[in-house]
Structure 1
Amino acid sequence: MSKKENLDNEVLMVDVDEKVPFGKALPLSIQHLFAMFGSSVLVPILFKMDPATVLFFNGIGTLLYAFITKRKIPAYLGSSFAFLAPVFLLMGQGYDFQTIQGGFVASGALFAVVAIIVGYTGIGWINKLFPPAAMGSIITIIGLELAGTAADMAGFPVGGSNSPTLNTTWVIVSMVTLAAVILSNVLLRGFLKVIPILIGIIVGYITAYFMGIVNFTEISNASFFTIPNIKLAHFDTTAILTILPATFVVIVEHVGHLKVTSSIVGKDLIEDPGLHRSLLGDGLSTMVSGMFGSVPTTTYGENIGVMALTKVYSVYIICGAGIMSIILGFSGKLSALISTIPTPVIGGVSFLLFGTIAVSGLRTFIEEKVDFSKSRNLILASVTFIVGLSGITITIGTVEFTGMGLATIVAMVLGIAFMIFDKLGIMNEEE
């Protein structure tokens, strides 16, 4: 532990490369596991496949990512939602999931190619494409576009997927969970202060049980030991071409998440260990997952939110969550137990987690001293915000670009235009 940190007293920060005693690291890792669980398991449920297999490969991918990035980036790799549309299209056309997996492998390979290009060309062009005014906006959008999802999971009919009317039971459970997280964070001291999410989930789970919305049927039916359902990928040109465009959405998301993480931990992770290593880690994780029966991976905003809230950035804590995820891939009972966590419990936690991501973007404006009296910065932020939050959707083939993904593309186009104007000497910098 560094002199900055003492988990037995007042918690200030646990840095990326710091280790935590096992007894205290365990609940911190469990906290990250719970944070990612709801979203990561939702993807295989939608695809009608075994969630335990996905958890197993999420853990493998997280450890692989940590190795490739030299244990310098605390990031958990969970299931990506960017591939839902093309996968549903292929499933509707009668493609079996093993053939769809071939598209995932190709997607990971494209990720790796982009990583190699970044490794050779450097990252200077990325900083010019995404200056602080644009990146601060994109980071904020990452959190804000999830606001409706958090409210919907909490029982408020914002997103409309759970109920067209207010679900009183869900609201009670989610708000008790949120209150527990907030009170734990602002009132508790020492080690308890760094596990507010875990405390909130436990309190929320107990509340949900007494409200009658916890179903233990899955636990009773589950076996104690199970084997991940390994199925080798098949390759089909049409399936690959249908899946491949979604890769660019994930790459855009990846760059945004790495910027968020850099802002939170106070280190330029794009420079060291490098964006190319981060992209390569995510790409190889997706290739391995796709090859053996799982879904594509991506860095997870939920876990970024946990780090922002707790100030515990240790990559070893993240790897601990990855190891637990692997174990869950073999434990039928334990996996079933976690799957019984009701949606409103996750919704209550998400209120705070998604918000902390948005605030991290606003913090970028302050820390980078973005001057909005300059028209370039004002234009970049204004247009990026409106595109990202307006709900505008552009469809290219089977891939939909919307929200943060579309906003990042628009910010990139504006950045290229401004660079060209600079080169031509026609950019008016007078304000």
Structure 2
Amino acid sequence: MQGNIIQVEERVPLGKGIALSLQHMFAMFGASVLVPILFGINPGVVLLMNGIGTLLFILITKGKAPAYLGSSFAFLSPVFMIMGAGATQDASRYPLALGGFVVVGLVICVVALLIRLFGTKWIDVILPPAAMGPVVALIGLTLAGTAAKSGGLPVPGVELATIDYHNVIVFCITLLTAIFGSILFKKFLAVIPILISIVVGCIVAALFGQFHIDQTLTHQIFILPQFQTPQFDLAAIAIILPAALVIVTEHIGHQMVTGKIVDRDLIKDPGLHRTLLSDGISTALSGFVGSVPTTTYGENIGVMAITKVYSVWVIGGAAVISIVVAFIGPVSAVIQAIPWSVIGGVSFMLYGMIAASGLRLLVEAKVDYSKSRNLALTSVVLVTGLSGAYIPISASFNLEGLPLSTIIGMVLGIIFWLLDKAKLTNDRD
């Protein structure tokens, strides 16, 4: 132990360790369970697989890289394209998304092997920062309307006479709690403003008769999570697959940030190939049993930065707690009973944060927009994602939005790289 710092491999006393593990579990809880709520699936299986995925991560990385694997937001847009969003969801189509998750997980494993063999520079060729930034931003931007509609706000296509202003009030209070909580809360509360906003929103919803916790307490104490079997459909896989690039890029960024926090080069030891392989295996396994894709969680990186507790034993404890909670019936029932007005309020901010993180990627990568190719890449990716243009894949699916813009960004990125190598561009590096 160095001063107040608890290093990666250090153990902590049991009592303190449980408290620290609970903190990590709650840090990921609000955002991580929001994904299955938005998909309309049982959150128990997600909590189970997040815990298992985290333990696998620790095992594969030999306990050298502290990270918690939570539910990925990168897949929201493509999954909604497959099964619909909010009240229009068709739950019977979720297995098609699961097949895509499995394939994405396997692709990430292949990327890990390529990184082991060739390093990471080729990723910037396939999807350079000028394209990756707007791709990440589109994850949030394309979902903004969904959050507003789920929250019961007046939006195009909805008649004012049908608006329940109780829903609007709950939405606004939930959103404002998340906004000001992220700015004003101190210490541990500053790590969980999303969770607190959900609790506050549910209390307000209960006052309006929209949330009945007494019904959730009648569930069995111990239950088995609800598993589903994936279905493999080429059209659905084509829609889901581009999100793999977002996961890979996000993962690399998280490992670099975590390495700076713990003052170790995690890219070299245990190696980016090991951490990414762990993420890929976790995502594939989650798809096989009916869960959602996983990713290293920025919320938990934030906890480590604040507490200076980097111990993988603490993070492993959080994973075990998540697994235990997955089998507690009332917890899953309470999560599933959360009103859409509350979910809309939380997701309204989260989708905006995802969009802003795309802009942050551009800033941190120092993308130079005096270069014509960077301006062209960002412009075309953004317009493609927001234009509504699509390519028909089958009678059931169209390639549009995030997946289409990602593919176009990749094609342009490779073409620009080839032109640059041929010394045909006028703004080469």
Matched, 1:283 2:280: yes
Matched, 1:227 2:219: no
Matched, 1:294 2:286: no
Aligned to 2:130, what secondary structure does the other structure show? helix
Distance 2:424 2:128 in 1: 19
Structure 2 partner of 1:425: 423
After alignment, is 341-350 or 51-60 more displaced? 51-60
Structure 2 partner of 1:135: 132
Q: 1:402 aligns with which of 382, 400, 403?
A: 400
Distance 1:250 1:124 in 2: 19
Distance 1:16 1:392 in 2: 48
Matched, 1:63 2:55: yes
Structure 2 partner of 1:35: 31
Distance 2:122 2:83 in 1: 33
- Structure 1 contact 104–295 (Cα < 8 Å) conserved: no
Q: How does 1:303-342 map to 2 (within 5 A)?
A: 304=298, 322-342=319-339
Aligned to 2:241, what secondary structure does the other structure show? helix
Distance 1:103 1:146 in 2: 20
1:421 deviates by 0.7
Structure 2 partner of 1:249: 242
After alignment, is 261-270 or 336-345 more displaced? 261-270
Structure 1 partner of 2:87: none
| TM-score, length of structure 2 as denominator length | 0.76
Q: How does 1:19-98 map to 2 (within 5 A)?
A: 22-23=18-19, 25-43=21-39, 45=41, 51-68=43-60, 70-77=64-71, 82=78
The C-alpha deviation readout for 1:303-333, integer Å capped at 9, x for no partner, is: 6478679976969687565434322321112
Change (3 A) 1:326 1:166: same
The C-alpha deviation readout for 1:133-192, integer Å capped at 9, x for no partner, is: 222222222222222222223221448699995431122112112222233333343333
Distance 2:257 2:343 in 1: 22
Letter of the structure 2 residue corresponding to residue 416 of structure 1 = I
- Aligned-pair identity in percent equals 38
Q: How does 1:202-241 map to 2 (within 5 A)?
A: 202-216=199-213, 218-228=215-225, 239=232
1:214 deviates by 0.2
RMSD: 4.3
Distance 2:392 2:275 in 1: 28
Change (3 A) 1:413 1:350: same
Distance 1:410 1:119 in 2: 27
- Structure 1 contact 226–330 (Cα < 8 Å) conserved: yes
Change (3 A) 1:229 1:411: closer
Unaligned runs of 5+ in 1: 6-13
The C-alpha deviation readout for 1:320-372, integer Å capped at 9, x for no partner, is: 65434322321112221222222222222223222222222222333333221
The C-alpha deviation readout for 1:204-249, integer Å capped at 9, x for no partner, is: 2211111111033641441011134568x69x9xx46566545523
Q: How does 1:164-175 map to 2 (within 5 A)?
A: 165-175=162-172
After alignment, is 201-210 or 269-278 more displaced? 269-278
Distance 2:403 2:267 in 1: 19
- Structure 2 contact 57–275 (Cα < 8 Å) conserved: yes
Distance 1:423 1:113 in 2: 26
- Structure 1 contact 152–162 (Cα < 8 Å) conserved: no
Distance 2:66 2:24 in 1: 18
- Structure 1 contact 123–270 (Cα < 8 Å) conserved: no
- Structure 2 contact 65–266 (Cα < 8 Å) conserved: no
Change (3 A) 1:385 1:244: closer
Letter of the structure 2 residue corresponding to residue 423 of structure 1 = K
Unaligned runs of 5+ in 2: 85-89
Change (3 A) 1:171 1:318: farther
Change (3 A) 1:160 1:382: same
1:58 deviates by 3.5
Distance 1:203 1:67 in 2: 37
Matched, 1:191 2:185: no
1:17 deviates by 9.3
